[in-house]
């Protein structure tokens, strides 16, 4: 069952998702060679709590930290650790909040220092594929239209799309219906309707699409050990199928300019 949101609930979801966006920017200020992913996790937790929310991921299904920190060939759900970021790494930072009974959820893949042209292009195309998906939202759209736009842009640029992990609805729960795959056929899937709030999150690999889960039960890594990138925004569907993007990369991009 899909839980449609009222205008008031969408505004609370916006509050959460703007806080997630600001938290990602706060973390981004500190991303540089030599810092550990656990140090970045502590920065995020303090920032979220100082802004009146709780970390949405901490304890969620037993996850032990505030952030998912996924470095290089880790696709998603990397656990913060004593690993020190190195020049040339890429790191997906996935963050959630819980405030006023609703969740926020967004992700951004950062470059650590100077990265290769190959990695730079992977980040560029993955972020573009997210926006290509959002562009499909209209009064007649279905989830498959979003999915197909993401897949087409990624594959046309020589990359592969992870199948096992997908986007989702969000609200009182972190993961709600509908599922939002990053691959699929136009015209298929759930019809978009006013009041839906979905997280669109392409996970795109430099090499093959196959992934596996490590022994910790969380960390998802590419089977060929090549880089993977991940970007995520929360989007509300409003009247006449208008896309209302609740989270934003502007705070990060102002920082990186």
pLDDT tens-digit map of 247-257 = 999 999 998 87
For residue 116, being part of any structural domain is answered with yes
For residue 144, being part of any structural domain is answered with yes
For residue 215, being part of any structural domain is answered with yes
d(CA 217, CA 187) in angstroms, rounded, equals 35
Over its C-alpha atoms, the chain yields an Rg (Å, rounded) of 17
SS3 176: strand
Give 38-77 pLDDT, tens digit per residue: 999 999 999 999 999 999 999 999 999 999 999 999 999 9
For residue 65, being part of any structural domain is answered with yes
pLDDT, position 4: 97
**Mean pLDDT across the chain:** 97
pLDDT, position 257: 78
pLDDT, position 43: 98
For residue 25, being part of any structural domain is answered with yes
For residue 1, being part of any structural domain is answered with no
Give the angle subtended at the CA of 129 by the CAs of 124 and 135, to the nearest 5°: 130
pLDDT, position 59: 96
d(CA 55, CA 26) in angstroms, rounded, equals 14
For residue 199, being part of any structural domain is answered with yes
The percent of residues in the chain predicted with pLDDT above 90, rounded, is 98
Written as one string, the DSSP assignment of 46-102 is: HHHHHTT-EESSTTGGG--SSEEEEETTEEE-PPP-SPBP-TT-EEEEEEEEEETTE
Predicted TM-score of the model (pTM): 0.97
For residue 2, being part of any structural domain is answered with no
Looking up residue 139, the CATH number of its domain turns out to be 3.90.230.10
Give 107-165 pLDDT, tens digit per residue: 999 999 999 999 999 999 999 999 999 999 999 999 999 999 999 999 999 999 999 99
pLDDT, position 176: 97
- As a dihedral over the C-alpha atoms of residue 159, residue 165, residue 171, residue 174, rounded to 10 degrees, the angle is -130
Q: Name the domain count of the chain.
A: 1
pLDDT, position 256: 86
Which range marks the domain in which residue 228 is found? 7-256
């Amino acid at each position: 069952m899909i839980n449609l949101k009222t205008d008031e609930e969408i505004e609370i979801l916006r509050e959460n998702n703007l806080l997630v966006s600001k938290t990602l920017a706060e973390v981004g200020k500190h991303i540089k060679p030599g810092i550990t992913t656990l140090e970045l996790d502590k920065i995020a937790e303090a920032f979220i709590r100082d802004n009146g929310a709780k970390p949405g991921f901490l304890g969620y299904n037993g996850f032990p930290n505030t952030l998912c920190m996924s470095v290089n060939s880790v696709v998603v759900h990397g656990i913060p650790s004593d690993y020190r970021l190195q020049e040339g790494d890429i790191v997906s930072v996935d963050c959630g909040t819980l405030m006023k009974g609703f969740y926020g959820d967004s992700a951004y893949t950062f470059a650590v220092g100077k990265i290769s042209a190959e990695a730079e292009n992977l980040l560029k195309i993955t972020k573009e594929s997210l926006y290509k998906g959002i562009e499909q939202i209209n009064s007649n759209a279905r989830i498959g239209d979003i999915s197909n736009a993401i897949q087409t842009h990624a594959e046309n640029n020589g990359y592969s799309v992870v199948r096992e992990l997908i986007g989702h609805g969000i609200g009182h729960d972190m993961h709600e219906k509908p599922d939002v795959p990053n691959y699929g056929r136009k015209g298929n899937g759930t019809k978009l309707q006013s009041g839906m709030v979905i997280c669109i999150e392409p996970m795109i690999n430099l090499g093959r699409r196959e992934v596996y889960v490590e022994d910790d039960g969380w960390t998802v890594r590419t089977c060929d050990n090549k880089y993977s990138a991940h970007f995520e925004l929360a989007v509300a569907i409003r009247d006449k199928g208008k896309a209302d993007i609740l989270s934003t990369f502007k705070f990060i991009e102002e920082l990186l300019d």
